[in-house]
Structure formats: structure tokens, C-alpha cells
């Protein structure tokens, strides 16, 4: 059984999901790939421990208190490759950005390959099921291009601004 709860955030209504008391999803309402990897029956359960912890984490994030991902027991559902990409996303510091190409270089090194497609990385980033907490909004194109955020580029911009990123050099294509 997957348990869910809603959280009203400054960037819109979020749906939180858990399974076996581990966080498996945080989706911005109407985002691309909303609930795309969940096939099981869902039930609203506002008193589920991990969902309460997640709401507390989100409260502190939106109060600029920079909570750490390790405070939450997360278990995103995806391919092994996607999970490798999401693990790298978890290392991007608050208020910093990284490019798809930089992630591709890290993945290729970890997998002992000569190179990795930035597009493959982009696909994994786009399918991140735990928005905001696994900070896919911190990934940008090589030249400051703000392409590729399932929650919408306006929300990506708002999250980066919230974290104090200098967005003057970033642009929406």
C-alpha cells in the first residue's frame, strides 16, 4: 500500500507518497510525469511518520533553513541508471547548480565508461520522483540554459532564487 498526503508549498500543492515508511515521491501538482512510476493502490494517510517528517523538512526548506536529505529515509523508484543520477543530485549543495554534462562525466567515471550522454542524464533527471528534496531543479544546461524541469521552468527559477542562486546569468530558452 502506498500512503499519500498533501503539502501546500510556496510553489504549489505537493503530493507526498510513501511505501514501507520510506519516502518514494514528492510531486508538484500537474507536473510532467505526475505519479508516473506508481502502480499500486494509494490511500491518504496524513499521520504516516515519514510523511510527517517530510512536511517538517519542507517547512524548514521553505524557511531557508537548508535541511539535509539524509534526514529523510528516501527510496525513489526507478532504473539503476536513474538511481545513480539521483544519488549525484543529492550531492549538489543548496544554492549551487551543476550541468547535465557535469553529471554525465561523473556517471561515466563511476561506471568506468569513456563518456555518457547528457541526454540520458537529462531523462533520468526529468523522471526524478522526489522533487525539491532530490534537487533536480539545481541542474542546468551547459550555457546557463534552464531547460528541463518537470515542475515547470517558472517553478525551477523560483526554487533557485529561493536558494540564493544568482539567476542573472541563467535563461529560459
Q: What is the CA radius of gyration of the chain?
A: 16
| Alpha helix (H) residue ranges in the chain | 49-62, 80-89, 100-110, 118-126, 153-162
- The question of whether 90 is a catalytic residue gets the answer no
Adjacent-strand bridge partners of 18: 3, 23
Selected catalytic residue, list 136, 139, 146, 155: 136
What is the C-alpha to C-alpha distance for residues 119 and 101, in angstroms, rounded to an integer?
9
| Pairing mode, strands 98-99 and 12-19 | unpaired
With vertex at residue 162, the alpha carbon angle to CA 157 and CA 166, rounded to the nearest 5 degrees, is: 65
What's the rounded Cα separation, in Å, for the pair 61 and 59?
6
List active site positions: 136
Amino acid at each position: 500500500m502506498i500512503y499519500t498526503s498533501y503539502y501546500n508549498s510556496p510553489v504549489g500543492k505537493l503530493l507526498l507518497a510513501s511505501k514501507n515508511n520510506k519516502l518514494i515521491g514528492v510531486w508538484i501538482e500537474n507536473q510532467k510525469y505526475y505519479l508516473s512510476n506508481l502502480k499500486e493502490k494509494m490511500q491518504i494517510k496524513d499521520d504516516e511518520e515519514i510523511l510527517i517528517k517530510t512536511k517538517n523538512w519542507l517547512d524548514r526548506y521553505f524557511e531557508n533553513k537548508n535541511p539535509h536529505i539524509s534526514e529523510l529515509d528516501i527510496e525513489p523508484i526507478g532504473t539503476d541508471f536513474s538511481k545513480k543520477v539521483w544519488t549525484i543530485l543529492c550531492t549538489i549543495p543548496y544554492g549551487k547548480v551543476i550541468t547535465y554534462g557535469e553529471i554525465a562525466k561523473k556517471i561515466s567515471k563511476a561506471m568506468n565508461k569513456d563518456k555518457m550522454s547528457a541526454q540520458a542524464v537529462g531523462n533520468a533527471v526529468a523522471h526524478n520522483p522526489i522533487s525539491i528534496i532530490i534537487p533536480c531543479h539545481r541542474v542546468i544546461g551547459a550555457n546557463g540554459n534552464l531547460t528541463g524541469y518537470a515542475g515547470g521552468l517558472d517553478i525551477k527559477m523560483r526554487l533557485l532564487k529561493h536558494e540564493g542562486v544568482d539567476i542573472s546569468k541563467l535563461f529560459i530558452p
